[in-house]
Amino acid sequence: MSEKEIMASANEYIMNTYKRFPVVLVKGSGVKVWDVNGKEYLDFAAGIAVCSLGHSHPQVIAAVKEQIEKLTHVSNLYYTEPQTQLAKLLVDNSFADKAFFCNSGAEANEAAIKLARKYAHENMGPDKFELITMKDSFHGRTMATITATGQEKFQFGFTPLLEGFTYVPFNDLQALEKAISAKTCGVMLEPIQGEGGVNIPDEKYLASVREICDRYGILLIVDEVQAGMGRTGKLFAYEHSGIKPDIMTLAKALGNGFPIGAMLATDKISKAFVPGNHASTFGGNPLATAAANATVKTILQEGILEHCRKMGDYFLLQLKKLQGKHKIIKDVRGTGLMLAAQLNIESSDIVNECLRRGLLIISAGSKTLRFVPPLIITTGDIDQAMGVLDEVMEGK
């Protein structure tokens, strides 16, 4: 099919839930992807912070190939080795003692919300079920996770929402403490807000949230679906603040493009789940967990985290230089390779112009450019992207 035919056919047969860019991608390798006409793009979107090891990573491909020829799926009614290995790998490298596997970020957050409620029901009493979440947060598109998401634009038209959620501004400790009531069982937040605009926590914010949760005897759930898996230069973003959460969710980069999500928790909290409480047919199947095992091992073994920190520092410095040159950039910020440029104009013009010039970037909200490239990028890739941005911003 030609590019035109694919786009026309997609618009005819696929539900209209995405505003897609007018490009048909067919191939990827490392930091590059190619469209159906053979045009090359530098991919600084990485499938929205998913392909952290770059496209077609040899170790991930090898692991999936090997596993698909052995065993693809059986069901969680049986033990399998890849799922067991992944659970141990994540537990050994985090605060957590136990893992539950699912297929996406929303599902991981659903599992976290259910576990928090079940734990609270049994240990705090049936009247404690409320979660405090943050304004401008994003936790997914299911009914429970759009309710948890503190942005009306994701909730509009889908009411009634779930009971038991209340919202406070990110980085506002006073508002958080004021919102805690006799019904509160926990706080759920992204350590760095992704979709809401790459919002960075103040220096001691997460440590103070932890302290407040401890003082009131409530749970702290961190949604690391976007910021986790090395994106910020540590395996998990909570590590930057020296705290330990009670529950954590993962997805996006966990399988480097293979769909998988996970919810992790301490032993004490995990005990609230017993057989029959929660499940997922595909969750943690051998193929998905083989991909994730290869991904996590590569991130941990190949100096990816250190490289990410170095590239992140370099990238931020270049963004600051760009800010000095172009008045439309109001602010630049980020940690590791989760970066943003806050504009004083709509970001879509810039994003579309970059696409035309062979650079894939995305927005976070209407006026923020978001940069979540593969963690394997080089200074050369960053320079190339900066060159394109510089050109595109010229005269704006």
Ligand X SMILES: *Cc1c(COP(=O)(O)O)cnc(C)c1O
List residues binding ligand X (CB under 6 A). Answer: 104-106, 109, 138-140, 190, 194-195, 223, 225-226, 251-252
Q: What is the smallest separation between the CB atom of 104 and ligand X, expressed in angstroms?
A: 3
Residue placing its CB nearer to ligand X in the complex, 140 or 334: 140
Residue placing its CB nearer to ligand X in the complex, 253 or 392: 253
Residue placing its CB nearer to ligand X in the complex, 67 or 193: 193
Residue placing its CB nearer to ligand X in the complex, 63 or 106: 106
Which SS3 state, helix, strand or coil, does residue 394 take? Answer: coil
Residue placing its CB nearer to ligand X in the complex, 158 or 383: 158
Cβ neighbourhood burial of 67 (10 Å; 0-12, 13-18, 19+): buried
For the beta sheet containing 40-43, the strands, ordered from the edge strand earlier in sequence to the opposite edge, are 25-29, 32-35, 40-43, 359-360
CB atoms within 10 A of CB 159: 7
Distance separating alpha carbons of residues 287 and 65, to the nearest angstrom: 9
Q: What is the smallest separation between the CB atom of 55 and ligand X, expressed in angstroms?
A: 18
Q: What is the smallest separation between the CB atom of 194 and ligand X, expressed in angstroms?
A: 4
Q: What is the smallest separation between the CB atom of 270 and ligand X, expressed in angstroms?
A: 21
Q: What is the smallest separation between the CB atom of 66 and ligand X, expressed in angstroms?
A: 25
Map tokens 């949604």 to a residue: 223
Distance between terminal CA atoms of the chain? 37
Q: Helices in the chain by DSSP H: which ranges?
A: 3-13, 46-49, 58-70, 81-92, 105-123, 143-148, 152-155, 173-179, 205-216, 267-270, 286-301, 304-325, 347-356, 379-393
Which residue minimizes CB distance to ligand X? 105
Q: What is the smallest separation between the CB atom of 249 and ligand X, expressed in angstroms?
A: 7
Which SS3 state, helix, strand or coil, does residue 116 take? Answer: helix
CB atoms within 10 A of CB 336: 25
Residue placing its CB nearer to ligand X in the complex, 199 or 318: 199
